[in-house]
Chain A
Amino acid sequence: MKAVVNVFLKEGVLDPQGKATSHALGSLGFKGINEVRIGKQIVIDLDATSKEEAEKEVKEMSETLLANTVIEDYNIEIVE
């Protein structure tokens, strides 16, 4: 089973990489960009037997290590 964890800086926490990328897109002539946020995607291949079990385990991984919840939010997607 595969789990995909997306980690982003929380709303309201300035994302300097997103901001720089947004400026770069603007100077390349792309119009109508309101905001760019850059995050990371962590793909985990794991042995869990059910979707629920995988979700529970990956949530614990995210809270413990994958995201720093002081500054980051995350979401989990289980891909079977």
Chain B
Amino acid sequence: MKTAVVLRFPGTNCEFDSEYALKKQGWNVEIVWHKEEVLPKCDLVVVPGGFSYGDYLRSGSIARFAPIMKAVESYANEGGYVLGICNGFQILTEAGLLPGALKRNNNLHFISKMQHIKVVNNDNKFLQNCEVGEILNIPVAHADGNYYIDDEGLEELKKNNQILARYCDENGEPMVLNGSVEQIAGVCNREKNIFGLMPHPERAIEELLGSIDGIKMLEGLSA
């Protein structure tokens, strides 16, 4: 059985949703407190959503210096798979494990709703079960999801197929959700073992909750 580690910082609130979603796909899940310095042997690290350290200073800026993050950085640098969702994405960009940064939404609102996203690249483990151009319906819930990267960085992302998905309407037409550069909803690193996105696939795994499109995304990591 494969083991996934889900990190928990003070203010994390999606660790149990992540655990539930992963267990449903047959993972053994361990929730690990941020003060730990050693990462248990695992096949995946999930940095879940929430409001680590109350989003003080900048979202994710303090959590990225938590003791466990040193171990996560070594794990990632050795090719281990890491998935950051929402606040987890913010933490990974702050840590420099993913390019770019997440700013306050351009309308200054906390945006919480179901949102369509369009898969941009699937030549990576995370989205390997999705089609390029496929439209998925996944919830978003964030105040700082406005992805910024400079022109040079954006070119790099495109050249290396690092853009995972873009916000769109139900027909797949581009849609401005939060001001993100080119409507980017998620990216991966160049080596394609570190993934970050603002939408919450772990909340889209039961018909009862409005969508099961998150299963397809998470399944890629389980394969």
Which chain A residues have a beta carbon within 8 Å of chain B's beta carbons? 9, 13-14, 16-17, 20, 65-66, 68, 70-71
Contacts and interface: CB of A to CB of B under 8 A. Distances in A.
A13 B103 contact: yes
Contacts of B93: 70
Interface in B69-119: 93-94, 100-101, 103-108
Nearest to B149: A70
Contacts of A71: 101, 103, 148
B65 to A, nearest CB: 7
Interface in B105-135: 105-108
A16 B146 contact: yes
Contacts of A68: 58, 61, 94, 101
Nearest to B107: A16
14 contacts: A9-B103, A13-B103, A14-B179, A16-B103, A16-B106, A16-B107, A17-B108, A65-B57, A65-B62, A65-B65, A68-B58, A68-B101, A70-B93, A70-B149
Contact of A17 (B62, B104, B148): B104
Given A16-B146, A71-B101, A71-B148, A66 B57 contact: yes
B65 A16 contact: no
A47 B148 CA distance: 36
A9 B107 CA distance: 16
Nearest to B64: A65
**Which are the 9 A-B pairs with shortest beta-carbon distances?**
A70-B101, A71-B101, A16-B106, A16-B104, A71-B148, A68-B101, A16-B108, A20-B108, A68-B58
A9 B101 CA distance: 12
Interface of B: 57-58, 61-62, 65, 93-94, 100-101, 103-108, 146, 148-149, 179
B120 to A, nearest CB: 21
Given A68-B94, A70-B148, A16 B61 contact: no
Given A66-B57, A68-B58, A68-B94, A13 B104 contact: no
A66 to B, nearest CB: 7
B61 A65 contact: yes
B100 A70 contact: yes
A20 B105 CA distance: 12
A16 B179 contact: yes
B92 to A, nearest CB: 13
B105 A16 contact: yes
A9 B100 CA distance: 14
Contacts of A20: 108
Given A65-B61, A70-B93, 18 more contacts: A9-B103, A13-B103, A13-B148, A14-B103, A16-B104, A16-B105, A16-B106, A16-B107, A16-B108, A17-B104, A17-B108, A20-B108, A65-B62, A68-B61, A68-B101, A70-B100, A71-B103, A71-B148
